[in-house]
Amino acid sequence: MYKSFITFISISALATLSLTGCMNLRTGPQLQETNTVDTAPPSTTDLEEAIQRDIANWRLSSPKDNNAAEKLVILKELNPTNIEILRIESQIAQRYIQLANKALAKQKVPSRTTLNKALSYIKKARTITPTSTLLNKKEKQINELISINTKKKRLQEAKAKAKKKKLAEQKKRDAKLALEAEKAKQTAMENELINSANNMALDANNPPSSLAMRKPVANTPASSDDLLMFKQVDVDNQSLTLGLELENLSRRIVNRNAGVIVHANSEEDFRWINGSLKTYIYLLDSNFHLNSTSKIGPQEHPSIELIQ
């Protein structure tokens, strides 16, 4: 459309020159004026109106070959001194600022992605009017929001790191307290066992625990590094006085990576002996997997036998 407009102006100029030449031929040489007259710039009203339509319909720099920015370039080529150029540049800048404001208004607290999008509109406007004070003001505002967003993100990261550290320290303290409680429990059990061994009378109606009774009875195997014997009465009563013996045996099992055979008179006795052993092993090494088998029968002496 605008190529046709420029062609029309060129044809008009040629026609004028031709008529002048004909008049010179008919009337003879004419006197030349000493003062030259400036040629008026071509009319660009249609082009200006087209630019205004593009601005009104938000065709600022797209689509290609049909937007205000490209037509403004043509206007500057045809008439660089046109006073409308500055007003059009300001209008385009304001439109881009409106786009930036619209993007920012979508979120109560704009994210970094939103802020970058708003800033991209300002940068597009800069290609059309680089020195606009309106763009300077808006760009400064967006950069301040970006700075606030960056500081806020760093603060959140620092808080998350501090929280993680605090939880780790609390977990460490809890583990330490649990260990101290277990040690206190073991100490209490040992003291109870010692007192029981010192004060308990040996009679048929009140038999001693397996730890207090060091000398094995007839036909009962003696305890060794690879064999821990229990008194049946301790198993029947599920006595806590066996704790020290189970702890020592558990250490040997873990250190030697050994398996065990649990001897018991009944399934119930087996479950208690095996469960107690697993508990003590877990307290020593929660990652250790105990490989245990059972030998159950009335002829079995309650005991734990280590095997490799």
66-123: per-residue pLDDT in tens? 999 999 999 999 999 999 999 999 999 999 999 999 999 998 899 999 999 999 999 9
* R_g of the chain, CA atoms, integer Å: 50
Q: Quote the pLDDT of residue 222.
A: 82
Query: What is the per-residue pLDDT across 164-178, written as a single tens digit (0 to 9) for each?
Result: 998 888 988 888 888
Mean local confidence (pLDDT), 116-142: 93
Q: Is residue 212 part of a domain?
A: yes
First CA to last CA distance, the chain: 97
Q: Quick one: pLDDT band at residue 237, thresholds 50, 70, 90?
A: confident
Q: Is residue 269 part of a domain?
A: yes
Q: Is residue 263 part of a domain?
A: yes
Q: Is residue 285 part of a domain?
A: yes
303, 263 in Cβ contact below 8 A? yes
- pTM of the complete model beyond 0.75: no
Cis, peptide link before residue 63, omega less than 30° from 0: yes
Look up the domain containing 297 and give its range.
Answer: 208-307
pLDDT at 40 over 50: yes
Listed range (129-133, 203-207, 243-247) with the worst mean pLDDT: 203-207
244, 276 in Cβ contact below 8 A? no
Q: In the chain, how many domains are there?
A: 1
Mean local confidence (pLDDT), 19-43: 48
Q: Is residue 270 part of a domain?
A: yes
Q: How far is CA 142 from CA 91, 150, 256, in A?
A: 20, 12, 68
Q: Quick one: pLDDT band at residue 54, thresholds 50, 70, 90?
A: very high
Q: Is residue 157 part of a domain?
A: no
Q: Quick one: pLDDT band at residue 187, thresholds 50, 70, 90?
A: confident
Q: Is residue 281 part of a domain?
A: yes
- For the domain that residue 279 is a member of, what is the CATH number? 3.30.1330
